[in-house]
Amino acid sequence: MSSQTKLHTRREFLKKSFGLVAAASSVPTFLSRTVFALANPFAASRGNRILLVVQLGGGNDGLNTVIPFGHDIYYRVRPSLAVPKEKIVRLNNEIGLHPNLAPLRDLYDAGKLAIVQGVGYPNPDRSHFRSMEIWQSGVAEDFESTGWIGRMFDHTCNNGHLKEPCSPTLAVSVGETLNPALKANNPVGVALRDPEQFYRMTQVYANSEVVADAPTANVKTVSPLDFLRRTAMNAELSADRIRRSIRNVQSRADYPVDEFAQGLKLIAAMIAGNMDTRVYYISLTGFDTHAGQAGVHERLLKILGDGLAAFQKDLEALGQAERVLGLTFSEFGRRVAENGSRGTDHGQAAPMFVFGKTVKPGIVGAHPSLDKLNDGDLSFHTDFRQVYATTLEKWLGADAKMVLGQKYNLLPLVA
């Protein structure tokens, strides 16, 4: 903003004129008691565990990510895009990783990576928009406006068994807008790219006089005005909390300079800074490679691999690795055969990575068959909600059936 300094002084002015809040400290202590003591239902039973969701936007080409180099068909249908056998980072005699994902093989070797193969959902939709909505909502059978993460908090706080609101910082999405996966009926979660800018923008309205009763009221029953006041206060307090939590954290890894890696660096700092956040969400986009795929895809995989490796290294050095589990997904994979433009079109099944120090390492499920295709696409054999359900139940200790609407078979992903 062009008017940063003005805003800052304005805020001081607002606060001084209320006489309720000391200008030096941005959060009054009585607020810290009320709001920051708010429900963190996952704290006690599950040892402050954290989930990181990495969204790969555009439809990542799963076949050039986890590569079935042992199958001739792969080389036959991808004359210009197939990665030469000798360059592939092998995991076994059949499959391997793209060379730019070499850092993930290190994780694999260290027992910190699981690869779930052939993930998708029934009646796949090839629209980016709809398919991403399905992954974010965790509902493929209907249109659902809340996200799977958001619903997890909905089912726990407020109308859930806690009967009180969740702490506003339980979910943090790094980016300009709140990821739809975090969308809840009772808003939890903040989105930010730059903590300082987020802080400045939340401080323009100092709603000090309205907070006394707002935070404890149930969102279903409060008036729209109190709902707005509460959200305003949540924004203000979250921003302040994030800013303070990262202030004294020194990163212990060399992150690449790209935006994705820098976002991960921020997340690692928030984790080490003892935020009460249980779910972090970050996106990397550009995977819609219809033409001239090779260069673009290589570059994106490098960003992904290097970023995640730095993140993991940082967490370990910061002593936080035990409590963080990460997963990656994309809205769909791409067609098996390349198209006439040295690219690939929208497909179906694709692999997911699940990583972290406490992951149960290995390869889950077989690589989808390359000769028995479904309309030119790899068929899925594992529903993505099995991965969600597993992380909900086994990692976060949430009720997966409540969140996902039905029971899914769990996968061996968490040690």
Partner 1 sequence: MFSLSTLHPNNWNWEKARHLLFRAGFGGKAEEIETILGKGLPGAIEHLLSGPTRTLPIPKWLAEDKAIDPRAVRSMGEEEKKMLQRSNRQHTNELQGGWVQFMMSTPTPADMLHEKMVFFWHGHFATSEQKVKATPFIYDQLKLFHDRALGNFGDLLHAIIRDPAMLRYLDNDQNHKGKPNENLARELMELFSLGPGNYSEQDIREGARALTGYSLEPYQFRYRRFLHDNGSKTVLGRIGNFSGEDFVKIILEQPACAEFMTRKLWVYFASENPPEDVIKTLATKFRESKYDIKTVLREIFNHPEFYSAEVIGAQIKSPIQLVVGAARTLELAVNNFEFYGRMLLMMGQVPYLPPNVKGWPGGRSWIDTSRLVTRYSFAEIVAEGKIPAEMDPRLPGDMDLRDPGMTPEERKLKRKELRSLPPRNLRIDFNAEKFAGSKSSPAEIVDAITRVLLAVSPTKDERQVLIANLEKTLKEKSYEEALQRAVGDVMLLPAYQLC
* 266 conformational bin, left if phi > 0, alpha if psi -120 to 50, beta if neither: alpha
C-beta of 72 vs 194, nearer to partner 1? 194
46, 71, 105, 128: residue in contact with partner 1 (rule CB under 8 A): 128
Shortest gap between Cβ of 371 and partner 1 (angstroms)?
Answer: 27
Q: Which residue has the tokens 């555009």?
A: 58
Nearer of residues 217 and 228 to partner 1, judged by Cβ: 228
Going by C-alpha positions, the residue among 207, 258, 250 that lies closest to residue 230 is 207
Pick between residue 210 and residue 294 the one whose CB is nearest to partner 1.
210
For partner 1, give the closer residue by CB, 122 or 224: 224
State CA 298 to chain mean position distance: 22
Helices H / strands E in the chain, number of each: 13, 12
Can you list the pairs that 191-200 forms with residues at least 24 positions away whose Cβ atoms lie under 8 Å? Answer: 192/239, 192/242, 193/263, 195/239, 195/242, 195/243, 195/246, 195/266, 196/243, 197/1, 198/239, 198/242, 199/239, 199/240, 199/242, 199/243, 200/1, 200/4, 200/7, 200/8
x/- contact string, 303-332, with partner 1 (CB under 8 A)?
x-----------------------------
The residue among 182 and 378 lying less far from partner 1, judged by its C-beta, is 182
Site for partner 1 in 63-82 (CB under 8 A): none
Contact (CB, 8 A) for 264 and 307: yes
Give yes or no for residue 30 binding partner 1 (CB under 8 A).
no
Eight-state DSSP code of residue 82: P
Token pair for residue 158?
A: 């407020």
Binding flag, residue 405, partner 1 (CB under 8 A) = no
Query: Residue 207 or 379: which CB sits closer to partner 1?
Result: 207
| Residue 57 Cβ vs partner 1, minimum distance, rounded to whole Å | 7
b/e burial code for range 126-159 (CB count within 10 A of at least 16 → b): bebeebbbbbbbbbbeeebebbbbbbbbbbbbbe
Q: Return d(Cα 270, Cα 313) in angstroms, integer.
A: 15
What tokens were used for 21? 């809040």
Alpha helices of 184-292 — where are they, by DSSP H? 195-202, 224-247, 259-272
Residues of this chain, 333-352, that bind partner 1 according to CB under 8 A: 341
Q: Shortest Cβ distance from residue 49 to partner 1 (Å)?
A: 23
Q: Cβ distance 7 to 204 under 8 Å?
A: yes
| CB 274 to partner 1: min, Å | 20
For partner 1, the closer of residues 25 and 285 by Cβ is 285
Shortest distance (Å) from residue 299 CB to partner 1: 6
At closest approach, how far in Å is the CB of 259 from partner 1? 4
By C-beta, is 269 or 300 nearer to partner 1? Answer: 300
Of positions 57, 362, 397, 405, contacts partner 1 by CB under 8 A: 57
The interface region with partner 1, picked from 9-17, 34-42, 378-386, 391-399 by CB under 8 A, is 9-17
3-state secondary structure of 163: coil
Q: Judged by CB under 8 A, does residue 240 bind partner 1?
A: no
Q: Which residue from 54, 107, 115, 219 is in contact with partner 1, where contact means CB under 8 A?
A: 219
Residues 153 to 212: which contact partner 1 by CB under 8 A?
A: 168, 176-178, 180, 183, 185, 187, 189-192, 198, 201-202, 204-205, 207, 209-210
For strand 96-97 and strand 66-67, is the pairing parallel, antiparallel, or unpaired? antiparallel
Rounded Cα distance, 160 and 164, in Å: 8
Smallest gap from Cβ 3 to partner 1, in A, equals: 5
Amino acid at 9: T
Work out whether 122 is an interface residue with partner 1 (CB under 8 A): no
Residues 6+ apart with CB under 8 A from 257: none
Find the helix or strand (DSSP H, E) in which 192 lies: strand 190-192
Burial class (CB in 10 A: 0-12, 13-18, 19+), 349: buried
Query: Least distance to partner 1 from the beta carbon of 200, Å?
Result: 10
Residues 264 to 293: which contact partner 1 by CB under 8 A?
Answer: 284-288, 291-292
With binding defined as CB under 8 A, does residue 367 bind partner 1?
Answer: no
Judged by the rule CB under 8 A, the positions of this chain that interact with partner 1 are 1-3, 6-7, 10, 13-14, 17-18, 57-58, 127-130, 133, 143, 145, 168, 176-178, 180, 183, 185, 187, 189-192, 198, 201-202, 204-205, 207, 209-210, 219, 223-225, 227-229, 231-232, 234-235, 238, 258-260, 284-288, 291-292, 296, 299-300, 303, 341
